[in-house]
Structure 1
Amino acid sequence: MKRVVITGAGTINALAQDVPGTLAAMREGRGGIGPLDIRDVDRLNVKIGAQVKGWHPEDHFSRQQILLYDRYTQFTLHAARQAVAQAGLDFDGHLGYETGVVLGTAGGGLTTQDENYRAVYEEGKNRVHPFVVPKLMNNAAASHLSMEFNIKGPSFTVATACASSNHAMGLAFQMIRSGACRAMLTGGAEAMLCFGGIKAWEGLRVMSTDACRPFSLNRSGMVQGEGAAIYFFEEYEQARRRGAEILAEVIGFAMTSDASDIVMPSKQGAARAIAGALRDAGLNPEDVGYINAHGTGTSANDKTECAAIADVFGPHADRLMISSTKAMHGHAIGGTGAIEMLACLLALREDVIPPTIGYEEPDPECALDVVPNVARQARVPVVLSNAFAFGGMNAVLAVRRAP
């Protein structure tokens, strides 16, 4: 079994358009949630989101590329370029055949879909652009990554709602560990902050109209975000031989299905995923110092997740630090786990535990150390990243400090 390390990272999200800016915002507990700037926002009940502001695709792509790239694909490529540059590799020759791409997204090219529904149904047009299908398909971003970097190994997309990018990173980890690939570009992206995307989520009645307050008694729901985070995973021995900077080591992964309800989370399913990640990594509960929680700010998720953590960690749960960074960067749906991996890197590399901002009132059913409002200096050897999705799809990753 190969050891798997992270040697490159890139991102764009509501906090910043790169990793250093994102980590700075997390250290400072700075929020990226604000008024939405989209078409027909006056027709929405929810008018806030963690939107990427100041994004100008023409600064990064040619006119021909923009015709092919939905917003989520643009975000993916922007983040991937950062990750590949940091990793310091090119994929000419044999490495390209032994490297793959696995990405997570829930909606894929939803902005393209929304715009073209408008064109046909609202504006009465009888034709759409011939590239609509290749622009909106869920595998578009993965395909463009393989073409941009000459990656010719296994490339595909995972769509498991809010667990998509954790599933993607977990599968990338397993493929390298098993020897199927030497390296993988992995992570996730989402760009659902369009009229149709928000209106659909409004229908679920889980959205807050003012703020995201995970674990706080007065929480009122989730707030959507958008963005991408992409990582370069590779074999440890390969990274060591070439003298690469190792950001962290991925050591465990587990995924479970609740098999119970399409929207309500299950404590048992979440607990089995958390326990499975510990088992896969060969960890005891007391080895873990921090958990980046799924922490959506909905009553059902927060209480269920805290109960699952308490069940798995027992007495050690009182000594764990847990936070949800969604109060800062929003819930980026299929891309959220990838963005949250940056919070894990912050904890492992800089000894900074990112806070749960917006926390106002203790909830007796979330009676864990949620690192309220202010980042904390603490050295932790191992962290977990939780993702629990609609449909009862759970994915948990275990990551430790660079060897």
Structure 2
Amino acid sequence: MSSGVLVTGLGLVAPHGHDADSVFDAIVQGRSAVHELAMDLAKPAAAATVDIDLSRWFNKLQTAGVDRVSQLAVAAADLAVRDAGGLAHAAPERIGIYVGCGMGGASALEAAYRSSNGRVSPLTIPAFMPNAPAAHVAMRLGVRGPVLTYAVACASSSVAIAEAAKAVRCGEVDIAIAGGTEALIVPGVVLTWQAMQTLASFTPGGDAAARCCRPFSADRSGFVLGEGAAFLVLESAERAAARQAPTRHAELAGWGLSCDATHLTKPDAQGQQRALRAALQLAGLTPSDIGYVNAHGTATKAGDTVECEAIRGVWGEDLSGLRVSSTKALHGHLLGAAGALEAVITIQALKRQQLPPQAHCDTPDPLCDVPLARAGEALVRPLDAALSSSFAFGGTNSSLVFKRV
């Protein structure tokens, strides 16, 4: 079985850079983009931030009322479209935009709350509304088809990609620009995550901040926030062939969505397994066909353990042939944009035939008994299919299966 949906464009603006190859190189080499935040906080906090000159896409006048989350989205979507060879071959009404964004424009909201003179910009609402990034991408690219936003916490952009693939497959659109964006590194947001006691702890100094996110490790203490945006251009295999698309990065072979329906913040292995199995079934693959899983792996005590239980339950006797890693250890947790960035990394793993190693896990938790990818590990067989998972607060689970082309 084949979904017939190809990834013909990749674009990202990530903590490691804005070129898919160089970002993947950094991940494979284990280079951390996480650093200590220079903020006035009661407790130290770390995050992975984006360093990019956005003047390529916006002049000073254009940035008025455009939050950073939308600026990053416009940049990443533009890079993806350029990689795909542009949009001149498609009618604007037949192009769709599908964006995941968990929380919207945090910088605009923070500025409004912290206004020193009591004046709030009248552009605050359109700047921080969660659908602003999708709207800005549509305006910049002249897209007049469906322009949709998915706010499903940490699964937002993975869900957006799955929904975009459905639209392509059923013929609702000819081209889908799908991904996610998030830019939450402001004091107010960091404080709220610290209040939940989910962020990684560390003692300031040396490389402690860079190594503080340790998925699957026995001494893990939580995740670190990241920011950025990533987009995929999706189209049918027939259309890509007809227009002689310059790039065919991978096939999005299957996707699976489910809901735990058990708890707002506590994950459930059975719910995650339903998404994993649904993605494999749609792709026409068995667990033994999958060589690599880019795990959700946030480095929380409960989250990592439950995810490993779900993986063991689905792969069973085929577990030994699988390798698993969470690249959040190096680029942080992009929340609403996490699934999109990790989808790009998973696609790169297929293209480059390399496994992103599990960083910062010297002593794995015995309860996280899955085969972790290790630095320098050689492939024992060609990597033909890989899977990326995103599991969210609210209980939504999303898994994407990619095949090498």
**Band the TM-score falls in, shorter-chain normalisation:** over 0.9
Candidates 379, 383, 386, aligned match of 1:383: 386
C-alpha RMSD of matched pairs (Å): 1.5
Bigger shift: 177-186 or 14-23?
14-23
User: 2:297 & 2:352 partners in 1: Cα distance?
Assistant: 22
Determine the structure 2 residue equivalent to 1:69: 66
Within a 5 Å distance, the mapping from 1:169-318 to structure 2 comes to 169-210=161-202, 211-244=212-245, 245-318=247-320
Shift of 1:376: 4.5
Matched, 1:21 2:22: yes
**Structure 1 residue 318: Cα displacement:** 2.1
Runs of 4+ off more than 2 Å: 55-60, 89-92, 372-379
1:147-198 Cα offsets, whole Å, 9 max, x none, are 1111111111000000000000000001101111111111001001100111
Q: How many angstroms does 1:219 deviate by?
A: 0.8
| 1:137 is the counterpart of 2:129 | yes
Matched, 1:112 2:108: yes
Matched position secondary structure for 1:197: helix
Question: Which amino acid in the other structure matches residue 220 of structure 2?
Answer: R
TM-score by length of 1: 0.94
Say which SS state the counterpart of residue 340 (structure 2) adopts.
helix
2:206 is matched with none
**Residue of structure 2 in register with 1:400 after alignment:** 403
**What is the identity, as a one-letter code, of the residue corresponding to 1:157?**
T
Cα separation, 2, equivalents of 1:344 and 1:102: 19
Tell me the alpha carbon deviations over residues 41-85 of structure 1, each in whole angstroms, 9 at most, x when there is no partner.
Answer: 1324242111113x3333531122211321111111111111111
Q: 2: CA distance between counterparts of 1:188 and 1:137?
A: 14
Contact 1:386 1:397 in 2 (8 A): yes
In the other structure, the counterpart of 1:357 is 359
Q: 1:259 to 1:176 in 2, by over 3 A?
A: same
Name the counterpart of 2:41.
43
User: How many angstroms apart in 1 are the aligned matches of 2:378 and 2:225?
Assistant: 26
Aligned residue for 2:40, secondary structure, equals helix
Deviation at 1:98, TM superposition (A): 0.6
Contact 2:57 2:74 in 1 (8 A): no
Q: Which TM-score applies when normalising by structure 2?
A: 0.94
- Which AA in structure 1 matches 2:108? T
Shift of 1:113: 0.7
Residue pair 2:177, 2:232 contacting (<8 A) in 1 also: yes
CA–CA separation in structure 1 for the residues paired with 2:229 and 2:378: 25
Residues 291 and 383 in structure 2, CA contact (< 8 A), matched pair in contact too = yes
Alignment partner of 1:66: what SS? coil
Among 347, 350, 366, the alignment partner of 1:348 is: 350
**How many pairs align?**
393
CA contact (8 A) 2:3 2:252 kept: no
Higher helix share: 1
DSSP-derived class of the 2:229 partner? strand
Structure 1 residue aligned with 2:209: none
* 8 Å contact kept, 2:36–2:44: no
1:89 aligns with one of 71, 86, 90? 86
Question: Is there any run of 5+ residues in structure 2 with no aligned partner, and where?
Answer: 203-211
Once residues 132 and 311 of structure 2 are traced to their aligned partners in structure 1, the CA distance between those partners, rounded to angstroms, is 36
Distance in 2 (CA, whole Å) between partners of 1:381 and 1:317 is: 16
